[in-house]
Amino acid sequence: MANPAPTTTVASLTRHDGWERFAADWSSDQRAFKTASWGKVMMWIFLLSDTFIFSCFLLSYMTVRMSTTVPWPNPSEVFALELGGKPVPLILIAIMTFILISSSGTMAMAVNYGYRRERRTTAALMLATAAFGASFVGMQAFEWTKLIREGVRPWGNPWGADQFGSSFFMITGFHGTHVTIGVIFLIIIARKVWRGDFDRERRGFFTSRKGRYENVEIMGLYWHFVDLVWVFIFALFYLW
């Protein structure tokens, strides 16, 4: 009977060699990222990690809400605004959602005009997106102020389950931080586009290569992700 030891050794070496080739392809950027820049790849990796964080937050919120024995506050009452002496449920949240979704449209057009090398239109659309984002953050600050004045705290609230306050401030605050960071970077990139830094190969942050408006697209990836996350927050936190 043939000795199986050499076969096992060959198989082991083959697997080892396969892993070495796999690592070499990815680490040297020869095949895995041949059609994508490192900037775009790193943004996708960041968004993937951020997806895990937001998923943990939302799953924790769902778990807390389904497991609590104390009645959960009614979002239609908590987030209502009085207009004409009558409470209108979720009117502020609806406006915030409309603004953020609209900003995705202006961001998509900015990416389109960026690759056409129409820098002034691109910069204007990016600034419009930043204005939408700043409006969203301002409305969120108003919403926070209103609830704090009504007695909502991370450790309790006057309408029911104590976990409501901590869930609300953690989830909306984390998302609002992302929007604020996005607004800052939108203004920075829009300024560089307006000055023509990408066309003149002016050295500095985000402008290392001539004629490449890819940074506008990378900014668009981030912004669309922030908008998509808000859709889930809106559905699970305000409509459930």
Is residue 45 within 8 A of residue 33, CB to CB? The reply is no
| Nearest residue to 172 (alpha-carbon basis) of 239, 101, 237 | 237
Structure tokens at 17: 């060699």
Per-residue pLDDT in tens (0 to 9) along the chain, 240 residues: 455 544 455 454 455 566 676 666 555 555 555 666 777 888 999 999 999 999 999 999 999 999 888 888 888 888 888 887 788 888 999 999 999 999 999 999 999 998 888 889 999 999 999 999 999 999 999 999 999 998 888 888 888 888 898 999 999 999 999 999 999 999 999 998 888 877 776 666 555 555 467 889 999 999 999 999 999 999 998 888
CATH placement of domain 36-238: 1.20.120.80
Beta carbons within 8 Å of 31's beta carbon, 6+ residues apart = 25
| Nearest residue to 192 (alpha-carbon basis) of 127, 135, 108 | 127
Domain residue spans of the chain: 1-34, 36-238
Query: Which amino acid does the sequence have at 117?
Result: R
d(CA 30, CA 159): 58
d(CA 238, CA 235): 6
Cα atoms in the 13 Å half-sphere on the side-chain side of 179:
30
pTM: 0.81
